[in-house]
Amino acid sequence: MRLLLDTHIFLWSLLEPDRLGPTVVTEFEDPDNELWISAISAWETAILIEKERVVLATRESPTAWVRKAISTSPLREAPVTTEIALMSREIRASHQDPAERFIAATAKVHDLVLVTADKNLLRLKSIQTMSNR
């Protein structure tokens, strides 16, 4: 299975692994599964650190921490493309959060299963999702 980690799932996997549900942990540990992250999640993570909504134990800059976190994790990067940008406007989401729209569009364009706890994203019929349970 090809799994796209929503931003909070990425952060929980690194900083608060106890928040991950047993199904998600099992799927993350399966060596046959691929773990993906959107470039938008890197951007969103840096912003959360800058705004101190995510507090790190180190004194690294937000960009240095994100670079290291991604490079030392078994993650593949899903780049933002024109197709993803356009698809983000076609996603029928109940909210207008651009980061969530880009992440959902990334799942759709790259045929990835979005791992999330976001109820709005879990309700989307146009993408495959896995609930953090």
38-64: pLDDT as tens digits: 999 999 999 999 999 999 988 899 999
pTM higher than the cut 0.85:
yes
CB-based contact 34:76 (threshold 8 Å): yes
CB-based contact 42:5 (threshold 8 Å): no
pLDDT score at 110: 97
Domain that holds residue 9: 2-131
Overall domain count for the chain: 1
Across the range 59-80, mean pLDDT stands at 94
Q: Is the pLDDT of residue 93 over 90?
A: no
Share of the chain above pLDDT 70, in %: 100
| Sign of the alpha-carbon torsion through 10, 22, 2, 74 | positive
| CA separation for the pair 71, 59 (Å, rounded) | 18
Q: What are the residue ranges of helices labelled H in 1-133? A: 7-15, 22-29, 39-50, 62-71, 82-90, 98-110, 119-122
CATH of residue 74: 3.40.50.1010
Q: List, for residues 12-45, the tens digit of each pLDDT value.
A: 999 999 999 999 999 999 999 999 999 999 999 9
